[in-house]
């Protein structure tokens, strides 16, 4: 076992810098910056850190174009300037995929989230910390839970107004938005307004948005449990209904970081609810009908998972080239020749396959699969109370046969 000190191999230094510039750097961070032969960063970083004796390289667009040059400098003192904490929605995580931890030294500054919580008196551990930098606005929607606090890194000065409009449109207009600009420096400013009356102008591009979430009576609050109201999905009848959907999500057993194939996706309800269970879950909705595929995209935006990948085409042909799944749901097309075998081959070890059918032909396929592969087979029947004259009686929906199987 090597007794080599962790820092002996370090050639790359990540220095977090705040709006107070060099004055806020520790002596060690300043020494690492001054000792570098080459420094990478944005123009704002160089303005804050200057003057520099080292070669200054401004980030190209896309930023990934700089990575080969950084790696080519391995063994020579090199520095990257970042905003605040490089590992909190910063460049640190990207660099760590390229450079081993013991080749780096990191000097973080307080993140924008820490600074904002300090200004507002919010507990960091009890505050949702998100980013809209390079991300679609609807990603915010699942986090809008009444009474919660959110901090959002803005894309630029236009983000707060865009968020205010989105919240007002979705019934959260009573939420209080606080814009914290250029925190930690001489230009720092803090202003607040309700989302429904947001009229702040000249917002600094470097801003963090704080949201005290308040829901109006018409707000669509995405619940934390599966089984969203069917009316929330635009559909043409091809929809896994709420009660069956909740049971199906339980059978799929989502785990952090997993990818789902939703085959014969219809309205996309299974893949959308899969992604809503936890940030970082991924899904591919496969749908042969172009009108339904377009509908899935609209539903995904409406419910806050714009990252859902929609593939137009019929399975199994449309499955070629897709990311390997950890779970597969077949809601339509299970009778297609070769589909079950193709999906079972594609699944990662330990992956889950769940299929629901209502037709006799589909049931025959699942019965045969159960006989060959085992797993679990269920008949799901839901009855709801409906008027019978001036009284009520039970009206049964079509029974659903569900087969679930785990790949050895």
Mean pLDDT for 235-257 is 97
Q: Within this chain, do residues 246 and 156 fall inside the same structural domain, yes or no?
A: no
Q: Within this chain, do residues 243 and 332 fall inside the same structural domain, yes or no?
A: yes
- How does pLDDT run across 250-259, given as a tens digit for each residue? 999 999 999 9
The domain containing residue 299 runs over which residues? 230-406
Residue 220 vs residues 168, 271, 278, 404: alpha-carbon distances, Å: 11, 19, 18, 32
Q: How far apart are CA 255 and CA 79, in angstroms?
A: 37
Q: Within this chain, do residues 281 and 380 fall inside the same structural domain, yes or no?
A: yes
CATH number of the structural domain spanning residue 37: 3.40.1010.10
Query: Over 60: is that where the pLDDT of 183 sits?
Result: yes
Q: Within this chain, do residues 178 and 67 fall inside the same structural domain, yes or no?
A: no
pLDDT of residue 268: 98
pLDDT of residue 5: 46
Indicate the average pLDDT of the chain: 95
Indicate the residue among 157, 177, 212 that finishes a domain: 212
CATH number of the structural domain spanning residue 307: 3.40.50.150
Mean pLDDT for 378-389 is 96
Measured in residues, the chain has a length of: 408
Looking at the domain assignment, is residue 307 inside a domain?
A: yes
- How does pLDDT run across 283-338, given as a tens digit for each residue? 999 999 999 999 999 999 999 999 999 999 999 999 999 999 999 999 989 999 99
Indicate the residue among 79, 109, 139 that finishes a domain: 109
Q: Within this chain, do residues 394 and 263 fall inside the same structural domain, yes or no?
A: yes
Query: Over 90: is that where the pLDDT of 364 sits?
Result: yes
Looking at the domain assignment, is residue 219 inside a domain?
A: no
Looking at the domain assignment, is residue 225 inside a domain?
A: no
Q: How far apart are CA 184 and CA 118, in angstroms?
A: 11
Looking at the domain assignment, is residue 224 inside a domain?
A: no
CATH number of the structural domain spanning residue 158: 3.30.950.10
Edge-to-edge strand list for the sheet holding 176-181: 128-131, 149-153, 207-212, 176-181, 189-194
3-state secondary structure of 220: coil
- How does pLDDT run across 154-173, given as a tens digit for each residue? 999 999 999 999 999 999 99
Mean pLDDT for 266-275 is 98
Report whether 4 contacts 100 (CB < 8 A).
no
The token pair that represents 191 in the structure block: 């202003």
Q: How far apart are CA 356 and CA 382, in angstroms?
A: 14
Looking at the domain assignment, is residue 79 inside a domain?
A: yes
Looking at the domain assignment, is residue 387 inside a domain?
A: yes
Looking at the domain assignment, is residue 144 inside a domain?
A: yes
Mean pLDDT for 336-350 is 95
Phi/psi-derived region of residue 290, left when phi > 0, alpha when psi is between -120 and 50, beta in every other case: alpha
Looking at the domain assignment, is residue 220 inside a domain?
A: no
Q: Within this chain, do residues 281 and 402 fall inside the same structural domain, yes or no?
A: yes
**Nearest Cα residue to 353 out of 287, 403, 319:** 403
Indicate the residue among 109, 128, 149 that finishes a domain: 109
Mean pLDDT for 70-75 is 96
Q: How far apart are CA 289 and CA 61, in angstroms?
A: 37
Query: Over 70: is that where the pLDDT of 1 sits?
Result: no
Q: Within this chain, do residues 239 and 310 fall inside the same structural domain, yes or no?
A: yes
Q: Within this chain, do residues 189 and 155 fall inside the same structural domain, yes or no?
A: yes
Query: Over 90: is that where the pLDDT of 367 sits?
Result: yes
- How does pLDDT run across 14-55, given as a tens digit for each residue? 999 999 999 999 999 999 999 999 999 999 999 999 899 899
Query: Over 70: is that where the pLDDT of 384 sits?
Result: yes
* Domains held by the chain: number: 3
Beta bridge mates, 384:
395
Q: Within this chain, do residues 12 and 98 fall inside the same structural domain, yes or no?
A: yes
Q: Within this chain, do residues 21 and 155 fall inside the same structural domain, yes or no?
A: no
Query: What is the pTM for the complete model shown?
Result: 0.91
Mean pLDDT for 91-110 is 95
Q: Within this chain, do residues 129 and 161 fall inside the same structural domain, yes or no?
A: yes
Query: Over 80: is that where the pLDDT of 3 sits?
Result: no
Q: Within this chain, do residues 77 and 134 fall inside the same structural domain, yes or no?
A: no
């Amino acid at each position: 076992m090597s007794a080599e000190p962790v820092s002996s191999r370090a050639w790359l230094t990540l220095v977090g810098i705040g709006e107070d510039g060099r004055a806020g750097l520790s002596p060690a961070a300043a020494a690492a910056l001054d000792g570098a032969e080459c420094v990478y960063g944005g123009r704002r970083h160089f303005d804050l850190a200057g003057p520099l004796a080292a070669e200054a390289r401004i980030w190209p667009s896309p930023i990934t174009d700089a990575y080969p040059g950084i790696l080519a400098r391995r063994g020579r003192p090199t520095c990257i300037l970042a905003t605040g904490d490089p590992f909190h929605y910063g460049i640190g995580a990207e660099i760590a995929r390229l450079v081993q931890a013991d080749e780096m030294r990191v000097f973080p500054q307080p993140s924008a989230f820490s600074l904002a919580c300090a200004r507002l008196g919010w507990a960091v551990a009890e505050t949702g910390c998100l980013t809209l930098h390079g991300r679609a606005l609807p990603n915010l929607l699942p986090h809008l839970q009444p009474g919660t606090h959110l901090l959002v890194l803005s894309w630029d000065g236009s983000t707060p107004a865009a968020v205010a409009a989105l919240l007002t449109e979705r019934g959260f207009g009573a939420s209080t938005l606080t814009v914290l600009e250029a925190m930690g420096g001489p230009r720092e400013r803090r202003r607040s307004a309700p989302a429904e009356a947001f009229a702040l102008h000249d917002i600094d591009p470097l801003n963090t948005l704080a949201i005290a979430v308040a829901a109006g009576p018409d707000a669509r609050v995405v619940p934390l449990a599966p089984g969203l109201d069917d009316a929330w999905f635009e559909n043409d009848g091809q929809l896994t209904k709420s009660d069956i959907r909740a049971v199906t999500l339980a059978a799929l057993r989502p785990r952090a970081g997993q990818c789902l194939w939703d085959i014969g996706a219809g309205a996309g309800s299974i893949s959308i609810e899969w992604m809503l269970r936890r940030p970082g879950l991924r899904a591919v909705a496969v749908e042969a009908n172009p009108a339904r595929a377009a509908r899935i995209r609209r539903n995904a935006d409406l419910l806050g998972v714009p990252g859902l990948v929609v593939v137009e085409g019929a399975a199994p042909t449309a499955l070629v080239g897709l990311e390997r799944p950890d779970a597969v749901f077949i809601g339509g097309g299970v009778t297609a020749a070769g589909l079950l075998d193709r999906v079972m081959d594609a699944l990662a070890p330990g992956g889950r396959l769940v299929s629901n059918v209502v037709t006799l032909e589909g049931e025959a396929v699942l019965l045969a699969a159960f006989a060959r592969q085992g797993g679990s087979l269920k008949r799901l029947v839901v009855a709801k109370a409906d008027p019978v004259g001036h009284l009520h009686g039970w009206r049964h929906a079509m029974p659903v046969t569900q087969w679930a199987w785990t790949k050895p």
